[in-house]
Amino acid sequence: MENKANKLLENLKKYSQDFSNKQRILASYIIQNYKQVAFMNSRELSRKANVSNSTVLRFAIALGYPRFADFQEELQNLIHSQISTLDRYTPLESEDKDLLCRIAALEVNIINKMIENTNSKYFQDAIQLLSLKEKILVLGYEGDAFAADYAASILQIIRRNVTNLRSMNDAGITSAIREGDADDTVALVYQFPRYYSKTTHVAALLKQKGIPIIGITNNVLSPLTHYADPLLFIPTKYNTFIDPHAAVMTLTHALGTGVIYSDKALARKNIQNYYEITKLFKSCDLNNIEIIVGD
> Are the beta carbons of 246 and 147 closer than 8 angstroms?
no
Instruction: Assess whether 29 and 166 both reside in one domain.
Output: no
SS3 breakdown of the chain: % helix, strand, coil, rounded to 5? 60, 10, 30
User: Binning pLDDT at 50, 70 and 90, where does residue 253 land?
Assistant: very high
Which of 167-178 are b and which e, b meaning 16 or more Cβ less than 10 Å from the residue's Cβ?
eeeeeebeebbe
Q: What's the domain count of the chain?
A: 2
Instruction: Assess whether 107 and 80 both reside in one domain.
Output: no
User: Which pLDDT value is given to residue 208?
Assistant: 92
Instruction: Give the amino acid at 34.
Output: Y
In 3D, which of 71, 84, 83 has the Cα closest to residue 4? 71
Instruction: Assess whether 131 and 253 both reside in one domain.
Output: yes
- Residue spans of alpha helices (H) in 145-217: 145-158, 170-179, 197-209
User: Which pLDDT value is given to residue 41?
Assistant: 84
Whichever domain contains 143, its CATH number is 3.40.50.10490
Answer with the one of 62, 87, 112 that is the final residue of a domain. Answer: 87
Kindly report which listed range (8-12, 73-77, 124-128, 174-178) carries the lowest average pLDDT score. 8-12
What domain range is 117 assigned to? Answer: 99-262
Asked if pLDDT for residue 96 goes beyond 70, the answer is no
Instruction: Assess whether 55 and 192 both reside in one domain.
Output: no
User: Which pLDDT value is given to residue 90?
Assistant: 47
Asked if pLDDT for residue 62 goes beyond 90, the answer is no
Instruction: Assess whether 233 and 212 both reside in one domain.
Output: yes
Instruction: Assess whether 83 and 111 both reside in one domain.
Output: no
Distance, in Å, from the CA atom of 143 to the CA atom of 120, rounded to the nearest integer, reads 27
User: Which pLDDT value is given to residue 28?
Assistant: 80
What does pLDDT average to over the chain?
A: 84
Instruction: Assess whether 106 and 20 both reside in one domain.
Output: no
> Are the beta carbons of 38 and 220 closer than 8 angstroms?
yes
User: Binning pLDDT at 50, 70 and 90, where does residue 97 land?
Assistant: low
According to DSSP, the β-strands at 213-217 and 185-191 are parallel
> Are the beta carbons of 162 and 263 closer than 8 angstroms?
no
